[in-house]
Amino acid sequence: MNGMPWLSILTFFPLLGALVVWLLREGNVRLIRGVATFFAVAEMAISLPLWWRMADAEPGFRFVEKVDWIPALGASYHLGLDGISGLLVLLTTVLTAITVIGAYTSVSKRPREFFALLLALETGMIGTFLCLDLLLFYLFWEAMLIPMYLLIGVWGGPRRVYAAVKFFLYTMVGSVLMLVAILWMYFLNKAYTGVATFDLEAFYRLPIDPAVQVWLFLAFALAFAIKVPVFPFHTWLPDAHVEAPTAGSVILAAVLLKMGTYGFVRFAIPLFPQASEQFTPWIVALSIIGIIYGALVAMVQPDLKKLVAYSSVSHLGFSMLGLYAMNPQGFAGSMMQMLNHGVSTGALFLLVGVIYERRHTRMIADFGGLWKPLPVYASVFMIVMLSSIGLPGTNGFVGEFLVLLGAFRTNHWWAVFAATGVILSAVYMLWMFQRVMFGPVTHAENEQLSDLTLRERLVFAPLIVLIFWMGVMPQPFLDRMQPALDRMLELSRERAVASAAAFPQSGAAPASAAAPRDDAAVSAAGGRP
Amino acid sequence: MPFSMPQLLAVDWWALGAVIGLSSGIMLLLLLEFVPAGARSSRSALISIVTLAASGWAVWQVADARRSIFGGMFLHDGMSVFFTLLFVAIGLLSVLLSWDYVKRTRINQAEYYALLLSATLGMILMAASNSLITIFLALELMSLALYIMVGFRRTQLESNEAALKYFLLGAFASGFLLYGIALVYAATGSTDLQRIATVIAGSPLLGSPLLLIGSLLVLTGFAFKVAVVPFHMWTPDAYEGAPTSVTAFMSAGAKAAGFAALLRVLMRALGDVEADWTAILTGVAVLTMTVGNVSALLQSNVKRMLAFSSIAHAGYVLVAVVAGGEAGAAAALFYLTVYAVMNLGAFGVLTLLGRGQEERVQVADFAGLGFRQPLLGLAMTFFMLSLGGIPPTAGFMGKVYVFGAALDQGLVTLVVIGMLNSVISVFYYLRVTVAMYMDDPQGEPVQVSWAAPGAIAIVVTLLLTLWWGVQANGLLDQAQRSVRGLL
């Protein structure tokens, strides 16, 4: 991109927006919304060309920017984008723009600070996806907590302070150990190559003793597993989701949780292949438990938002399962599932927000027969719900199908157990939908409710387009992510071999186990589903 | 000991610039009191600012020179220049923070600033001393000034109590230190750090109980000054009872001075006994971090909370000391600087709270402050995050560097304990932000006494906290160059 620092602009443009919004006069709410929308939409516009630029199936990083940052430590300001981070960045910019517009009326308390924080958060999220220097990555990863913490804590529900602090501390416990692991790797690399650097590409070339990998992997995996969240590290999630304001829930579900799965595919799996292999049974077991447990708990929730929150645990279990199937289909399915979950669950939280704004309750029992007063709302809700269930023709189907396919190829039983989650998701979603939308209007207050406004329809329109587009024609998405995913998978295998070769004694047992199980099958499938 | 009239070159005079400048400033301040200035006069504060700035400037002129002055009693090397500039900066920021605060709380200005400059002078000499005797003298110069400053609000009981406690325990610690120095002298026949190292090296003295007990007592003396567990008992009371501006000054300065002297003694003189003190200091570091952080969890008074947090931070610096070597020393220098800045900022915010003599330093007093005073809230938020070690702030870089140095030495357990401690600490630092942004004020909301000098100090510390959070290279580089040749 002839010298233009596109990725830096993408990363810091929202921060500029946050600053501008923060400097506006507090009273002028319309201006504040307008400026915030301008920055969010402009950011989306800046990011959209990525979609076409990514069509060239280049597996490595592009638009790379690299300058010295802290030469005294060997840290550099290193940004780069591949198919994985590119799609997640697009998801972030689109969802943030939608969230900003969706939050027009729901935020009456201190809108200036609210929108400023939302934009600052966007910088943190995009920075996290784009960083290729681990120190910088960690900086964004943790700095991002601050705006989210404030969004939950200031604009949240009655137990917002508890939820916000819990969110912060949970995430931080995992993160600090990851920082130790990053520093450890830094010194390993320094000892091995003599070069002090936090560069991810350098770490990709560093063979690591499988015995050491175990510790490093555990530290990274804990940080990411808390973020995903993998059962049993999920307990912060329902609190955070329920107490967060709608916009916070949407961003939390749509983007923040993806950082966990992104972390696995970008860091934990390729950097520590043997350890990753060694812990596969554990992670798969936890993912499957998460899928089923999340669904079962979602079923009994009286609160709509909590139901959606637990469905997140279930859906992200699929994403984790796909990753640990360790084959191209599983990876692609996992990645699709990340995007789907961003779109569908984001939309679900927005829908819950819409009804909460009108009725100030989210209890399923307070609704019933909403289809009559709110036909448009109910139709949108139905489409989103069906996509969340994974009905063929919607995006949810593609992701879950690929994950199950990938899991089936690795171990039939994984797929069998995980598939029950699909059935359960239909149970809780349809049952909830029936209780909320169908039948006679049970509460008189609900008869007077007004249907979606034009603004709200505009908010949901792009999401519905995405649901059908990704459901009917997923190939453009797969084309963009597959080369990068294959590269991560390939890297993981190469590094397993290299590490085993470099550390023959301690690597003997795990290395044989880590040998690619189904190389023949992979090449037969041509690396494409 | 051979003693001849010291030959001072021009460069030595410049190197002594801070000492000469500050001494003249102190005398000028006191002499000028023959012509009393009004209670609202800024005369003393202005003189202090000029004195400090001139002192810093003089040393800056010869920053690259390496000299040994007064027959090896004082060193003018990278480390002493680094610390001199740090103490001058701490002094400057403290004067700015005190400017309005001492007027508001009716503290006698000339004496206050004279003592502040004396303490700064003591700190500078401590970092530059190359002999146990001069270290002790400098430490006493600093401590005596601080004892008085802690008790400066003499009409208030807490202040009296704080000063008395600090003084009594401090006197004990000085006794330990002096006794330790005597034993070390008895064992090695010298008080010169370099010569002690030479005598110890390869001699059977290494296992001598005289030397071991002596070094242990010296360590104890310093442990008291930098407030590490189990010699931390005075800290919360002294910090809470002292005028807030004094707390700010001593928490940043006295700690750094104590560590400066500790680093010199440990690495220069007792380098060969390393195996002994490393084991002790590792245990002390773990205790200090944990006790400091866990106790801070229980505090509802922000001054007291920051007192316990300062104990915890001393523990982090100890981790760097335990790591040792040039990397460890550089990490300690870096962390002390960062800590000084963010801690001065946090206490600086406290000095602005309340009108007149009232002290509004409960966590509850911060309720709603973030939205009523957006800039103050933003500053306090970043100071808290920085103290908690969360990016993008200087405290984060400090932790990366300290724990990185320790990890390089294979101290994995210590690092993990330190990291988990920083999670504990985040809980209480967050409480302040919870109060500022998420709680509604109960009772009369706290008044903010804005004053330009204090505001400048807060803005400067805030900018430095953020700048070193995103671009720490300059300071890191400086710290690394300052310790080169120390060992």
A181 compared with B207, residue with greater pLDDT: A181
Instruction: Give the span between the Cα atoms of B295 and A240, in whole angstroms.
Output: 28
Most B CBs within 10 A among A68, A179, A187, hence the mutation to make, goes to A179
Q: What is the DSSP string of B394-458?
A: HHHHHHHHHHHHHHHTT-HHHHHHHHHHHHHHHHHHHHHHHHHHHSPPPSSPPPB---HHHHHHH
**pLDDT band for position A296 (cuts 50, 70, 90):** very high
**pLDDT band for position A120 (cuts 50, 70, 90):** very high
Q: Is residue A23 situated within a structural domain?
A: no
A77 touches chain B (CB under 8 A): no
With an 8 Å Cβ cutoff, are A72 and B407 in contact? no
Most A CBs within 10 A among B297, B381, B387, B407, hence the mutation to make, goes to B407
Which residue, A127, A128, A103, is CA-closest to A115? A103
Most A CBs within 10 A among B297, B375, B431, B434, hence the mutation to make, goes to B434
Give the residue from chain B lying closest to A139, CA to CA.
B391
Q: In the block, which residue shows the tokens 């330990």?
A: B176
pLDDT at B201: 82
A472 touches chain B (CB under 8 A): no
Give the residue from chain B lying closest to A184, CA to CA.
B407
Cα A514 from chain centroid?
Answer: 28
How many domains is chain A built from?
A: 1
Q: Is residue A509 situated within a structural domain?
A: no
Q: What is the DSSP string of A366-424?
A: G---TTTT-HHHHHHHHHHHHHHHT-TTSHHHHHHHHHHHHHHHH-HHHHHHHHHHHHH
With an 8 Å Cβ cutoff, are B438 and A154 in contact? yes
Q: Is residue A344 situated within a structural domain?
A: yes
**Residues of B in Cβ contact (< 8 Å) with A113:** 371
Phi, psi (rounded to 5 degrees) for B208: -65, 130
Interface predicted TM-score of the whole assembly (ipTM), two decimals: 0.92
**Residues of A in Cβ contact (< 8 Å) with B420:** 173, 176
User: In which domain, by residue range, is A455 found?
Assistant: 291-473
Instruction: Give the span between the Cα atoms of B192 and A437, in whole angstroms.
Output: 86
Give the residue from chain B lying closest to A75, CA to CA.
B473
Instruction: Give the span between the Cα atoms of B172 and A500, in whole angstroms.
Output: 59
Q: Is residue A309 situated within a structural domain?
A: yes
**Residues of A in Cβ contact (< 8 Å) with B404:** 73, 183, 186-187
Q: Is residue A334 situated within a structural domain?
A: yes
pLDDT at B340: 96
A457 compared with B8, residue with greater pLDDT: A457
Work out the average pLDDT over A235-245: 92
With an 8 Å Cβ cutoff, are A69 and B477 in contact? no
Q: Is the pLDDT of residue A517 over 50?
A: no
Question: How far are the Cα atoms of A60, A355, A376, B184, B395 from residue A454, in angstroms, in the given order?
Answer: 42, 15, 11, 84, 47
pLDDT at A521: 40
Q: Is residue A410 situated within a structural domain?
A: yes
pLDDT at A225: 94
Work out the average pLDDT over A74-99: 93
> Which residues lie closer than 8 Å to B313 by C-beta, 6 or more apart?
B255, B292, B335, B339, B343, B387
User: For residue A296, how many other CB atoms are within 10 A of its CB?
Assistant: 15
pLDDT at A526: 39
Q: How far is B408 from chain A (nearest CA, A)?
A: 6
**Residues of A in Cβ contact (< 8 Å) with B363:** none
Instruction: Give the span between the Cα atoms of B458 and B449, in whole angstroms.
Output: 13
Extents of the domains making up chain B:
11-481
| Packed helices A29-47 and A111-130: angle between N→C axes, nearest 10 degrees | 10
Q: Is the pLDDT of residue A264 over 50?
A: yes
pLDDT at B2: 54
With an 8 Å Cβ cutoff, are A164 and B438 in contact? yes
DSSP state of A256: I
Q: What is the mean pLDDT of chain A?
A: 89
**pLDDT band for position A60 (cuts 50, 70, 90):** confident
Give the residue from chain B lying closest to A22, CA to CA.
B374
- Report the DSSP beta bridge partners of residue A79: A65, A131
**pLDDT band for position A510 (cuts 50, 70, 90):** very low
Contact B260, B83 (CB under 8 A): yes
Q: Is residue A466 situated within a structural domain?
A: yes
Would you say how long chain B is, in residues?
487
pLDDT at B312: 95
pLDDT at B370: 87
Which residue, A113, A111, A115, A117, is CA-closest to A143? A117
User: For residue B452, how many other CB atoms are within 10 A of its CB?
Assistant: 10
Give the residue from chain B lying closest to A190, CA to CA.
B408
Question: Which of B390, B391, B476 shows the shortest C-beta gap to A70?
Answer: B476
Tokens (6 digits) for A353 = 């927000």
Ranges under pLDDT 50 in chain B: 1
With an 8 Å Cβ cutoff, are A176 and B423 in contact? yes
The pTM for the full model equals 0.92
Instruction: Give the span between the Cα atoms of B381 and A150, in whole angstroms.
Output: 11
Q: How far is B272 from chain A (nearest CA, A)?
A: 26
Question: Coil, strand or helix: which one is A62?
Answer: strand
Q: Is residue A506 situated within a structural domain?
A: no
Q: Is the pLDDT of residue A2 over 80?
A: no
Instruction: Give the span between the Cα atoms of B11 and B378, in whole angstroms.
Output: 44
pLDDT at B136: 95
A145 touches chain B (CB under 8 A): yes
